[in-house]
Each structure stands twice: as C-alpha cells, then as structure tokens.
C-alpha cells in the first residue's frame, strides 16, 4: 500500500533536476575551457594554429572529393 503525503515531492525527481544542473554546468565549463585553449593556441603560436586549420580544411576537402568520386562512380 502506498501513502502519499500532501505537499511532498518524490526524491528521485529532485535528484534528477540536480544532476541535470550539474551536467549543464560541466558542459558550460568544458565549452569555456575549450574556447580558452583555442584562444591561447592562436595567440601563443599563430603560425602553427594557421597550419592546423589549413590541415583540417585540406582533410575536409579531400573527404568531400572522395565522396563525390564515390557517388559519381555509383551513378555512372
């Protein structure tokens, strides 16, 4: 038999809310730490940061060209 006390909330719901708040705070902290790390990298070593971005763009371009080649070979 279950008894319900008026005006009380189940403990599991408040625990979920608190866990959700902690998760949001950790996400925000990780985001700010990531942004700070990127800014530090760009300010401390701009040449290496530019090279890193260039490498990422080159890799994305190569991947896009590979997908285009694949799709054109499938449909031809």
What are 42-73's pLDDT values in tens digits? 999 999 999 999 999 999 999 999 999 999 99
Same domain, 34 and 68: no
Average pLDDT score over residue span 33-42:
94
Average pLDDT score over residue span 4-33:
66
- Contact in structure between 36 and 42 (CB atoms under 8 Å): no
Same domain, 53 and 35: no
Same domain, 17 and 40: yes
Tokens matching residue 12: 């599991």
Q: How many domains does the chain have?
A: 2
The fraction of the chain above a pLDDT of 70, given in percent, is 68
Report the pLDDT value the prediction gives residue 12, as an integer from 0 to 100.
54
Report the pLDDT value the prediction gives residue 48, as an integer from 0 to 100.
93
| pTM score, whole prediction | 0.55
Tell the residue number behind the tokens 């979920």, with chain if given.
16
Same domain, 14 and 29: yes
Q: Which domain holds residue 29?
A: 1-44
Distances (CA, A) of 69 to 13, 57, 58, 64: 52, 18, 16, 9
């Amino acid at each position: 038999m279950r008894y319900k006390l008026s005006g009380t909330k189940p403990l599991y719901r408040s625990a979920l809310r608190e866990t959700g708040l902690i998760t949001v705070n950790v996400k925000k902290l990780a985001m700010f730490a990531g942004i700070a790390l990127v800014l530090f990298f760009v300010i401390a070593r701009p040449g290496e940061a530019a090279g890193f971005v260039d490498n990422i763009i080159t890799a994305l371009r190569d991947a896009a060209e590979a997908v285009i080649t694949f799709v054109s070979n499938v449909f031809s």
